[in-house]
Amino acid sequence: MLIAMPAMADQRFALSVIYLCAHTDDGAMGIVVNRPLASPSFADLLQQLHVDPVPPARSIRLCQGGPVDHARGFVLHTADWTGDGSLRVDDQMALTASLDILKAIAAGGGPKQGMLALGYAGWGPGQLDQEIVQNTWLSAPADPALLFDDDHDTKWRRALARLRIDPLLLSTTAGRA
């Protein structure tokens, strides 16, 4: 997980918690997990995509996954379900961008937990590494309970608390010890 530092200058990421899905020499990609979307609803989205049944037997929440490609959807979910288009991020988490997962969830199946993100956060080669060196992000182990809960207003502060950090005591200056 990436946790935005309190002094984050980019308002698109201020107080963000991001689940990092990929980080290679070619760049990085993640999903912002604490920016819920009020609309469209999951049922409305299924109707737009012609996915039955509507209303769905089961629903997941929608979030603004980041500033890149808002028309593209990604389901961040537990790895107990995978399909043809799934990217297994680690032992616990996967990312799927196909309609198969939406059909499975709508029918009452699919992964135990998940969220549908419209858009994503992306970084070019070396960009995220440089931002971490510049004291823009903190990193923490991912916690599915935190990622998937509905208490978005406190998610950033709770992510910091997992690191035993009080945001009021953080310095905006990076240093080397």
Domain for residue 175, yes or no?
Answer: no
Domain extent for 97: 2-169
Whether 158 maps to a domain, the answer reads yes
What angle (nearest 5°) sits at the alpha carbon of residue 2, between those of residues 29 and 157? 140
Mean pLDDT of 96-119: 96
How many structural domains is the chain composed of?
Answer: 1
Give the containing element (helix H, strand E) for 74: strand 68-78
Domain for residue 53, yes or no? yes
In a domain, 174, yes or no: no
pLDDT at residue 121 above 80? yes
pLDDT surpasses 60 at 160: yes
Span of 63-72, 142-151, 166-175 with lowest mean pLDDT: 166-175
Nearest residue to 92 (alpha-carbon basis) of 67, 69, 111: 111
29 in a domain, yes or no? yes
Read off φ and ψ for residue 88, nearest 5 degrees.
-80, 115
Against a cut of 0.75, is the pTM above it?
A: yes
Dihedral sign, CA of 99, 58, 150, 82? Answer: negative
> What mean pLDDT comes out for the span 127-133?
95
Residue 152 lies in a domain: yes
Residue 177 belongs to some domain of the structure: no
User: What are the tens digits of pLDDT across the range 48-94?
Assistant: 999 999 899 999 999 999 999 998 999 999 999 999 889 999 999 99
CATH of the domain at 33: 3.40.1740.10
Whether residue 176 lies inside any domain: the answer is no
